[in-house]
Structure 1
Amino acid sequence: MKRALFFLVVVLGVVVNGSLCVLASAEGPIVIGAVIPLTGELAKFGEMQKHSYALALEEINEAGGVKGRKLELLIEDDTGRPEVGRSAVEKLISKDNILVLTGGYSSSVTYAIAGVAQNFKVPYVTHTGAADKITEMGWDYVFRINQTASEYFKGVLSFLKEVAKPKTAAVIFENTLFGQSQGKSFAAACEGLGCKVVMKEGFESGSVDFKPLIMKLKSANPDLVYAICYVMDAGLIVRQSKELNFCPKLFVGGGGGFALPEFVKNAGSAAEYIYSATLWQESLPFPGAKEYYQKYLKRFNEPPQFVAAQAYVALYVIADALRRASELTRESVREALTKTDMNSMYGHIKFVSYGKKTQQNLLPTYVGQWQHEKFELVWPKEYATKPFVYPIPPWSQR
């Protein structure tokens, strides 16, 4: 396991009425655990999360920490595999005695982590894994900040209903918990709009040849293609679509890899005018969003994506709950999390129950489009940084 440890010196006292008052509880840092992918295919995402944790931890501790104590973050590598993530959490809980847990990137690993946290009754604030069932198990120690897979495309549906109005759609998705969950939900939503789903097919992530799948898409000739996968597959699919001259009126990525800068690097010119659902953008009118973006960009020399923003806000949500907890026990922190009601650079955070979900934050989603190698927010109109281009021009005109 690889561990990254961010730790600042513990403040042992505070000034009260001009005199130093040593806090009885300030015996050391408050220990938080995080499990993210630091090696393997998903390591780039884990690196973004790790960077954002570092920024948030630094800011919180420089502002005095929580109840006179600094926060200490222990990070374990899940390698992108559920069984490794499960073991990492067990270690953090049993050996390192963490008070609260965060992290998770892929839905499969996040689901495994959540099950362990619930079993040990350790509060788990997850911020990226999106499969719906993570907050549909009735787990009372699991809290999710980010939008669920079945809600990734809420902004896309609005765009379809008001602008594109497709008559036919094809849905393709990687055969993972995240891909299957979102693919099923999006297909049902299309039918609800009166858009006929002419093709719905899963594929194995990591393929080097998507041309048979693309030929099926070309034969089905849908107005809309909605694709759900991570960044390497995303780039290859649109690049091979260009090679086969497959150009639907609208090609939309279901989050995942389509909104990342690596997508353009992998897809090249084929990325132009591709749409993607997205969960956050620094241009949104949330307090601190632009400041966070600029600080991250300056420190790490690359722009933060929504994955990074989710990790950053998670530590602030945890710090807020720790401050409000009647005592620093796992049960008290869990109770404080249930009462979370805060504005943040990611939007409003409040854990609610609706439908089958419990302790799930409820947020809107947005639509972006790649224009001249930049990911522009294009929907809803009131948040757009550029006008959308629709229908997508033929390859010969891009």
Structure 2
Amino acid sequence: MGEGREIKIGAVYPFTGSLAAVGEDIRQAIDLAVEIVNNRYDLPLPLARTNGLPLLENQKIKVIYGDSQGIPAIGREEAERLIVKEKVAALIGSYQSSVTLQASAIAEAEKVPFLAPEASAPSLTERDYQYFFRTAPNDHLYTNLFFELFQFLRNRGRDIKNFAILTEDSIFGLEAAAIEKSLIRKFSGELVEFEMYTPPVSSLLDELDRIRKSKAQVVFGNQFLSDATQVVQDLNTLNWFPEGLVVQNAGYTIPEFLKTVGKDGKYIISRVAWALGLGRVKPIVTEVNNLYRSKYNEDMNETNARSFTGFFVLADAINRAGSINKDEIKRALLGTNIPGKSLIMPWKGVRFDSNGQNILADALLAQIINQEYKIIWPLSVAETRVVWPAPAWNEK
């Protein structure tokens, strides 16, 4: 059962190219998860307190990585290589929605279970796929949180009306923007400027200047790392910062971003699937982060916490399947019912609907304060009050 007494899982992520730092963070989190599953750890995570997979004669898991380079077509090729040549039992990946779309399409064609821990484009779970599963929330849930916050602020006298959107034209950017537009209308707000561009870019000054002139109070940003950094630099050049720069995580929530922009990133508000501050109400978060820190000398982050969790969900399903048969693993995934107390995420748990979407996923909003992501929403787990409106550049 399984060559060399190991069960192989393929992982497709960007390890070279502009998103290499993200891929490396994800690799670190998955490697730690493998270590916890394969050995005994006194943690309430699935499979932590046993050696390997107990229902598969304690076989251990080996992850084989494929480098998408951040390019959808290459992600698809790597998924195919892992399935056909490496004969993996299942796949996990692939951070970007555009790469996840392609890599999971080949997995579906080959009838291999594919678990997506990070990608948030809603359409990924609207394809009537049988072998695709997503553990994290989609953009509908994430974006609703922003409007809960806006309503809270409006109820306290803030006149929030004028919105702008700055988005890249990828599947991630387009789907996020469509949801933002819809919710702006429902909120009785006005979309005063919409700017779309094709990445990568060397400047977003013209787009941001048009947004500034539109008198937008709230600006939605949908960018990956290099463009997210560009947004902050260009806002500084314009000496303008909106009342609220609210962003759909991606490039804004990885350590490389904060290292690059430093104090200029202050007061950006991002949706997040996870934050270190959760440890105040959920001790397992701190325990796992301490393990991560002792291994890599840095904290876990919002992105790779999702990857870490996705791996456990997939390993748990393979164990319950008691087999590396792809259909048995798919059935086990459909039967997943992991309680929130067994996860480091702010979720009620993991349970998939017929489309493969985790219906118990939840999310948070965090604001960058003193170069840290501090939870501001929902209020039940908030670490600090939201700073609104954001101060002008000379007051930061």
Structure 1 length-normalised TM: 0.89
Tell me which structure has the larger Cα radius of gyration. 1
Supply the AA of the counterpart residue of 1:195. Answer: G
Aligned pair 1:290/2:286, yes or no? yes
Instruction: Quote the Cα distance in structure 2 between the aligned partners of 1:25 and 1:242.
Output: 55
Name stretches of at least 5 consecutive residues in structure 2 with no aligned partner: 41-50
Aligned residues with identical type, % of pairs: 26
Question: Aligned ranges for residues 227-238 of structure 1 at < 5 Å?
Answer: 227-238=221-232
| Higher helix proportion | 2
Task: Give per-residue Cα distances to partners, 1:329-361, cap 9 Å, x unaligned.
Answer: 1100100000101031123111124xxxx1101
- Would the aligned equivalents of 2:21 and 2:256 in 1 still touch at CA under 8 Å? no
Aligned pair 1:49/2:48, yes or no? no
Task: Give per-residue Cα distances to partners, 1:296-355, cap 9 Å, x unaligned.
Answer: 1221122221211111112211121122115331100100000101031123111124xx
Task: Give per-residue Cα distances to partners, 1:164-216, cap 9 Å, x unaligned.
Answer: 55111001111111111101111111111111111122112221211101110
Which of these residues, 9, 26, 34, is aligned with residue 11 of structure 2? 34
Task: Give per-residue Cα distances to partners, 1:130-178, cap 9 Å, x unaligned.
Answer: 2111111000100011111333222211101111551110011111111
Instruction: Quote the Cα distance in structure 2 between the aligned partners of 1:282 and 1:351.
Output: 26
Which of these residues, 177, 183, 187, is aligned with residue 183 of structure 1? 177
For residues 25 and 39 of structure 1, do their structure 2 counterparts lie closer, same or farther at Cα, with a shift above 3 Å needed? Answer: closer
Supply the AA of the counterpart residue of 2:10. Answer: G
Aligned residue number for residue 144 of structure 2: 154
1:257 partner SS: helix
1:147 partner SS: coil
Task: Give per-residue Cα distances to partners, 1:276-302, cap 9 Å, x unaligned.
Answer: 111111332456222121211221122
Question: Aligned ranges for residues 349-364 of structure 1 at < 5 Å?
Answer: 349-353=350-354, 358-362=355-359, 363-364=361-362
Question: Aligned ranges for residues 257-272 of structure 1 at < 5 Å?
Answer: 257-272=251-266
- Would the aligned equivalents of 1:150 and 1:181 in 2 still touch at CA under 8 Å? no
Instruction: Quote the Cα distance in structure 2 between the aligned partners of 1:301 and 1:27.
Output: 32
Task: Give per-residue Cα distances to partners, 1:24-62, cap 9 Å, x unaligned.
Answer: 889621111111111111111110110011101011111
Supply the AA of the counterpart residue of 1:310. Answer: R
Q: Point out the more displaced range, 108-117 or 293-302.
A: 293-302
- Would the aligned equivalents of 1:156 and 1:366 in 2 still touch at CA under 8 Å? no
Stretches (4+) displaced over 3 A: 24-27
Instruction: Quote the Cα distance in structure 2 between the aligned partners of 1:103 and 1:286.
Output: 26
- Would the aligned equivalents of 2:272 and 2:364 in 1 still touch at CA under 8 Å? yes
Instruction: Quote the Cα distance in structure 2 between the aligned partners of 1:214 and 1:328.
Output: 51
Name stretches of at least 5 consecutive residues in structure 1 with no aligned partner: 1-23
Instruction: Quote the Cα distance in structure 2 between the aligned partners of 1:166 and 1:361.
Output: 32
Deviation at 1:236, TM superposition (A): 1.8
For residues 370 and 184 of structure 1, do their structure 2 counterparts lie closer, same or farther at Cα, with a shift above 3 Å needed? Answer: same
Aligned residue number for residue 345 of structure 1: 344
| Higher strand proportion | 1
Q: Point out the more displaced range, 181-190 or 262-271.
A: 262-271
Task: Give per-residue Cα distances to partners, 1:219-263, cap 9 Å, x unaligned.
Answer: 101111111101221122122112212222111111111222322
- Would the aligned equivalents of 2:120 and 2:138 in 1 still touch at CA under 8 Å? yes
- Would the aligned equivalents of 2:167 and 2:221 in 1 still touch at CA under 8 Å? yes
- Would the aligned equivalents of 1:236 and 1:266 in 2 still touch at CA under 8 Å? no
Aligned Cα RMSD in Å? 1.7
Instruction: Quote the Cα distance in structure 2 between the aligned partners of 1:141 and 1:122.
Output: 6
Aligned pair 1:255/2:255, yes or no? no
1:96 partner SS: coil
Which of these residues, 295, 307, 310, is aligned with residue 303 of structure 2? 307
